Structure 1
Amino acid sequence: MYDVQSAWVYILRCADGSYYVGSHRGPDPAARASSHNQGLDPAAYTFRRRPVELVWAGDFQFITDAIAFERQLKGWSRAKKEAVIRGDWDALPALARCRTPRPSTSSG
């Protein structure tokens, strides 16, 4: 059973294959996924992408830490999010490397 005071960051896989990253404080991240599936907010990203499936959740002692990680995770590439979903934390540094060649600044 989950701690009522837990703070969560979660990743949902949407019906269109996209990922949604969110955070909340409560007893169970699956309950939050269920509320996304209920479609209570027509303006929500997940509204037109239902059904959604909870594919990862991480708990944090403080909601401020959860929100900070949520913001970080939202900025990550799809490949990095999928590494988190797999639990492959060791893959993150390689996935973070810049893949766009930079123009040379040398005159040589």
Structure 2
Amino acid sequence: MKKSFVYILKCSDNTYYTGVTSNLEKRLFQHSSGFYKNCYTNKRRPVTMVFYAEFTDINLAIEKEKQLKKWSRVKKEALINGCYDDLVNLAKKKFE
């Protein structure tokens, strides 16, 4: 069964990049080396991997990547820091 990964990189400008891949080590090397010149991370190197999750179904990995890309910075940081109980509260919208 082929593995897929969703990952979050922290860039040198303190932004986060979320991606999906079937080869985590190779993809991290590509981000770190500037392999793709038009990639978001190319001008924000060095990058550090701060989170990854493994999947056995690429469709679930892609779905999770899309979900994480919509998350706020605070919510992503809760995930990165393992504060899973905080994720529910951070998902609530604040209406005024």
Which category describes the TM-score, using the shorter chain as reference length? over 0.9
Task: Give the equivalent residue in structure 2 for 1:58.
Answer: 53
Report the structure number with the largest CA radius of gyration: 1
Task: Give the equivalent residue in structure 2 for 1:24.
Answer: 21
Secondary structure of the residue aligned to 1:55 is strand
CA distance, structure 2, for counterparts of residue 100 and residue 14 of structure 1? 31
Distance 1:47 1:100, change over 3 A: farther
CA distance, structure 1, for counterparts of residue 77 and residue 95 of structure 2? 20
CA distance, structure 1, for counterparts of residue 8 and residue 94 of structure 2? 25
Runs of 4+ in 1 over 6 A off after TM superposition: none
Q: Is the 8 A contact 2:30 2:36 kept in 1?
A: no
- TM-score, normalised with respect to structure 2: 0.93
Q: Cα offset for 1:87?
A: 1.5
**Structure 2 residues not aligned, in runs of 5+:** none
**Structure 1 residues not aligned, in runs of 5+:** 102-108
Q: Equivalent pairs: percent with the same residue? A: 42
Task: Give the equivalent residue in structure 2 for 1:74.
Answer: 69
Task: Give the equivalent residue in structure 2 for 1:93.
Answer: 88
Spell out, residue by residue over 1:19-68, the C-alpha distance to the aligned partner (whole angstroms, 9 max, x if none): 00000012xx2432221011011211001100100000000110110000
Paired residues, number: 96
CA distance, structure 1, for counterparts of residue 10 and residue 73 of structure 2? 11
